[in-house]
Every structure is written in structure tokens, then in C-alpha cells.
Amino acid sequence: MTTKLIGLLVLVGASTFFVMHVMSPPDGTDGGPGADAQEWEPPGRSYRDPLPFSKSEDCKGCHPDVWSEWYDSHHRIAYTNPEVQKLSTGFQGKGLDCLPCHLSRPMFETGFGVRPLERLTRREDGVDCFTCHYWPEGNAMLTSGPLGGAASQAPCQPAVTPSMASLQLCAPCHNQHKVHEDWKETRFAVKGDGFKDCNDCHMPTVERPNAAGGIRRGRSHRFPAAHDPGVLREAAAVTQSLSARSLFVTVHNSGVGHNLPSDERHRAVDLHLVLDTGDGRPYDVRIERWRNPYRDEFEAVNPLPNPGDAYEKTVTVPELLADVGVRVKRVPAPHRPNRKVWYPASTQIPAGEKRELSITLPDGVKAVTVRLWYRTNPFQPDKDAVLLHEKTLPE
């Protein structure tokens, strides 16, 4: 094979890769404006002078508090987070699915409501200021407003669009795992006094010093979520009661507007019992796990596919040579009890739903401690997990 022919084949291969993975729209989209592009309200100006900066570090001078919030957030370490890199094969050269949302170019570059393209520079910045705020066509940094009197002199040349507060700025990435679709099925998505969207929980209102002086209300850029124990502990309500050997436990997804746990594959919520037989040794046993399984976990099944379903099982405690009898019932949410199932094998608890467990303890158990754990990955040991609930009975 001649050198010219080899070079031609390499060029064709590189061009094909570029078209397929860079120029082509992400799976599930048609490219250009997204399905919700009608929500995009561009600013009136269409041209501005070149911005004097190109990285998030440059925003720090005028917005130190916002920058610090972002810097300490998981948006910034969306790519460098060792846990994410370990769990995602797309970060290990085996696929490209993860990178567009963990190293995102500006959202407005691909079209409002469409998954962004992968950024090849500043990888240590993960999802940065330019991902959400930069408007390439108008060469401006966007905000939902209102602007202060000094905005016209600001180096970032801010422009206002109400679309910055739209959920369609979040959905292109966070709906890759159907979190946005899950929210739309909940009571929180109903317009009215009870309406809550992504911003209400994950970008709560805060007050900060204004760059031009005074105090200004804005949205937190810490993005509190699964890595914030205080936020996690508000997600589920757990009740329990004990009568002789019969333990009754209810786990209610009462505090979040999506599945518990949310996300695809990685998260897990575990219900454990610690049995006390009086011998001074605790017997810790996992009774139930709620999560969306990995794609290659072909044996995984959801034993409660329909609202109102129930199933029974036994959990063995090897050290006691005894079994724990368990009956689990799926209690539907009052709002939209029948919802679309995106992942049939998932055991995640949809918003508003309950899991009622009737548990028969082994003979000789004098006390039992109920624990609910949240794990950012299913292999996470207790010492690194978040304890959402703990209660010992009898009290």
C-alpha cells in the first residue's frame, strides 16, 4: 500500500469520525434548535465587540462570590472527579457519550434544548461559566436579568434573556438520564402554588454583594444535590414501628421532584437493619436496594413494575443461621400514579411514591436499628456513604 493511499485512508477516517462524533447531533436529537427552542428568547442585540476573556477564571474579578460557589461545586469537577472517571467508560477512551455533558461547550452553540458539544480545552473547569452563559452569536454573556445601571460598562457585555431561567438550559444534559422527564410527571411540575423546578432546589435564591455596589439577589451556583448531606436528608421520610418480631418500615420519596435515587446506574439507596441479639455483636444486613442498574446487569429485574404490586423474599443472616422475611409493597403517588417507565429494570422510587416493608425478624432479636444509606455508587462503603436515617427500636 502506497504512502499516499495510507494518508488518504487516514484522512477519510478522521473526516468520518469528525462528522459522526462532532458535527452530528447527539443521539435522540435532530440538531439545530431543540424541541423546546420556542422558549429561547434571544436578546435584541446581535453583535458585540469580542469579549476580553475566554475562561471562567476571568469572571472572578467582578463575580467573586458566584465564582467561589461554582469553584466548590460538582459542576467544576464534572470531568476531573476521580469517582466519575472510574465509573464512566466514556472517560476511558471507550466511548463519547459522557464527555459532551462533562466538558461542555456553550449550550447556545448547538441550539437551545440540545445536548452540547464536547470542549477540548480547559478540562479542569468541567461545566464552566461559558457553558451556560456564553451566547456565541451575540458574543455576550447572558443572564435572566434584571441588569444594574453599571452593566453597560461590564467587560462581559451582559445581555438579558428570560430563557436563562428556563429548565431547557438544564435538560439537554440532565435529561440524558431522564431526570427532567421524571420531574414532568410529578406534582411539582403543575403550575400553581406547589410548582417547583430544578432551580428552586438546585439553584436556591441567595443574596450577594453586587459588583457595582450594594446587595443583589441571585441564584446560588453551588448546585446542591447528591453530594450535600443536608440536602440528601430531606429527600426521604422514613417511619418504622415494631411489634414483637414484626417490623414495619415505610420509605417515602417525599422531598425530591424526581426518582430516588435519581441519575442512571451510579446512585443507590439501601435499607439496612442492624440486629441486636444481646451477644454484643451487631448483625448488619441489607434488606432492600433501590437504584437503576448498569447496562450490563442483564440479570437485574424490577419486582414491582406496577403501582400497587407487592413481592416477598427472604434475606439470610449467615452469622445467625437465620432468615429475615420481607414483604415489599409499591404504594403509588397520589399525583399521576401511572407513569411512563424509562428503565424497566430500575427499582428507583418515583417522586411521591412509598415502599412499605413488612419484616419478620429472627428469633432472639432484642432490638433492631433501621438505617437508610445513600451511596453515590453502588460499591461505596458505609464510611463514605451518607446516612439518611437511623432509628433503634424498641426505644
Q: How far apart are CA 341 and CA 11, in angstroms?
A: 43
Return the CATH fold of 229-337+345-393: Immunoglobulin-like (2.60.40)
What are 145-162's pLDDT values in tens digits? Answer: 888 777 878 888 888 888
pLDDT single digits (tens) 5-38? 445 444 445 444 443 343 333 333 333 444 445 5
Cα–Cα distances in Å, from 261 out to 40, 306, 389, 391? Answer: 31, 18, 15, 21
* Contact call for residues 282 and 275 (beta carbons, < 8 A): yes
Query: For position 93, what pLDDT does the model report?
Result: 61
> What ranges do the domains of the chain cover?
52-219, 229-337+345-393
pTM of the model: 0.86
Q: How many Å apart are CA 247 and CA 357, to the nearest integer?
A: 8
Cα separation, 201 vs 225, in Å, equals 8
- Residue 217 pLDDT > 60, yes or no? yes
Q: What does the mean pLDDT of the chain come to?
A: 86
